[in-house]
């Protein structure tokens, strides 16, 4: 299937590693021009160089920006528009994974922790969508995909659940407002994904629990219907499709890309 992404102009935040980088790699493979966005300029340049060397003729722009700063976001989008003449696709993936550390109990959960989570993932996504929307609506087409997570559908991390549910709510509101102008907006809920962060997470949990790393990994895999963790590339395949004109009928809704949320029913 031709995803009709050849020559499209995409912005991927959180693009220097993990899911963001995997999505960027998938978009480049489909012929899209990709602006990688992250705060760490050195890591960003390394990631962009890897994409260029991996696909002959790939057009990749590295744009350091902080999504918690509206001026930085607007400057980033303006740089992309100046370079390529517009923006067709936005993938919001700039956020700290909720599994990066064990969630604190209620008594230890500070306002600042929740505020930081919300500022990065919810307001950060809003800032980026707000900055690209005029360019998409002006041309009558665009796609925005927000990377959220299965914490939107389960308990265990108050801050993680709050921010992920908020991203889903943001997505639905954007879809309703922008849909008449040809812009589709979806949210993707990955679970725990095999990325470069996973071995460290497993090692930390093994040390805290007294289990072996293999046992911890098996426990995590057992929470999925597939009984294994999905890879970043498998998540990226779904996101890239949602970025394409082929996904025009999918908007305002959530797509779970987690290998199945075992034991739960959503309808």
Q: Is the dihedral of CA 150, 156, 160, 161 positive or negative?
A: positive
Total tally of structural domains belonging to the chain: 2
Q: Provide CB contacts within 8 A for 239, sequence distance 6+.
A: 19, 23, 26, 91, 145, 147, 188, 257
Tokens of 98: 């909720």
Instruction: Examine residue 72 and state whether it is found in any structural domain, yes or no.
Output: yes
Say whether both 96 and 172 belong to one domain: yes
Say whether both 167 and 207 belong to one domain: no
Instruction: Examine residue 66 and state whether it is found in any structural domain, yes or no.
Output: yes
Instruction: Examine residue 4 and state whether it is found in any structural domain, yes or no.
Output: no
What residue numbers bound the domain in which 14 lies? 9-191+232-246
Q: Is the pLDDT of residue 158 over 70?
A: yes
Say whether both 215 and 157 belong to one domain: no
Instruction: Examine residue 257 and state whether it is found in any structural domain, yes or no.
Output: no
For position 154, what pLDDT does the model report? 78
Say whether both 159 and 27 belong to one domain: yes
For position 100, what pLDDT does the model report? 54
For position 173, what pLDDT does the model report? 98
Indicate which CATH number applies to the domain containing 65. 3.40.50.720
Say whether both 98 and 197 belong to one domain: no
Say whether both 117 and 133 belong to one domain: yes
Q: How far apart are CA 82 and CA 91, in angstroms?
A: 19
Instruction: Examine residue 54 and state whether it is found in any structural domain, yes or no.
Output: yes
* Predicted confidence (pLDDT) per residue in 62-113, tens digit: 999 999 999 999 999 999 999 999 999 999 999 877 655 567 788 888 888 8
Say whether both 134 and 206 belong to one domain: no
Instruction: Examine residue 267 and state whether it is found in any structural domain, yes or no.
Output: no
Say whether both 40 and 141 belong to one domain: yes
DSSP, residue by residue, the chain: -----TT-EEEEETTTSHHHHHHHHHHHHTT-EEEEEES-HHHHHHHHHHHHHHSTT--EEEEE--TT-HHHHHHHHHHHHHHHS---EEEE--S--GGGSPPPPGGG--HHHHHHHIIIIIIHHHHHHHHHHHHHHHHT-EEEEEE--GGGGS-S-HHHHHHHHHHHHHHHHHHHHHGGGTEEEEEEEE-SEESTTHHHHHHHHHHHHS--HHHHHHHHHTTSTTSSPEEHHHHHHHHHHHTSGGGTT--SSEEEESS--TT----
Instruction: Examine residue 207 and state whether it is found in any structural domain, yes or no.
Output: yes
Task: Calculate mean pLDDT across residues 246-260.
Answer: 95
* Predicted confidence (pLDDT) per residue in 172-231, tens digit: 999 999 999 999 999 999 988 888 888 888 888 888 888 898 998 888 889 899 999 999
For position 141, what pLDDT does the model report? 98
Instruction: Examine residue 44 and state whether it is found in any structural domain, yes or no.
Output: yes
Say whether both 61 and 103 belong to one domain: yes
Say whether both 184 and 221 belong to one domain: no
For position 153, what pLDDT does the model report? 81
Say whether both 81 and 163 belong to one domain: yes
Task: Calculate mean pLDDT across residues 150-156.
Answer: 80
Q: How far apart are CA 21 and CA 147, in angstroms?
A: 13
Say whether both 118 and 214 belong to one domain: no
């Amino acid at each position: 299937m031709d995803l009709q992404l050849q020559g499209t102009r995409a912005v991927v935040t959180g693009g220097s590693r993990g899911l963001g980088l995997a999505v960027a790699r998938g978009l480049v493979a489909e012929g899209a021009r990709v602006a990688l966005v992250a705060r760490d300029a050195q890591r960003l340049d390394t990631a962009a160089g890897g994409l260029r060397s991996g696909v002959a003729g790939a057009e990749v722009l590295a744009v350091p920006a902080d999504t918690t700063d509206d001026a930085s976001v607007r400057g980033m989008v303006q740089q992309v528009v100046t370079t390529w003449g517009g923006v067709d696709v936005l993938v919001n993936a700039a956020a700290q994974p909720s599994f990066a550390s064990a969630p604190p109990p209620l008594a230890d959960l500070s306002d600042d922790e929740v505020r930081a989570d919300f500022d990065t993932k919810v307001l950060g996504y809003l800032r980026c969508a707000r900055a690209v929307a005029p360019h998409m609506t002006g041309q009558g087409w665009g796609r925005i995909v927000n990377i959220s997570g299965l914490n939107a559908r389960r308990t265990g991390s108050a801050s993680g659940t709050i921010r992920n549910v908020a991203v889903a709510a943001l997505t639905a509101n954007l879809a309703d407002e922008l849909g008449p102008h040809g812009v589709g907006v979806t949210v993707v809920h990955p679970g725990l994904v095999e990325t470069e962060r996973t071995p460290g997470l497993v090692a930390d949990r093994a040390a805290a629990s007294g289990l072996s790393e293999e046992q911890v990994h098996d426990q995590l895999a057992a929470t999925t219907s597939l009984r294994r963790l999905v890879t970043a590339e498998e998540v990226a395949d779904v996101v890239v499709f949602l970025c394409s004109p082929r996904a025009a009928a999918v908007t305002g809704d959530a797509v779970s890309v987690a290998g199945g949320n075992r034991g739960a029913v959503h309808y």
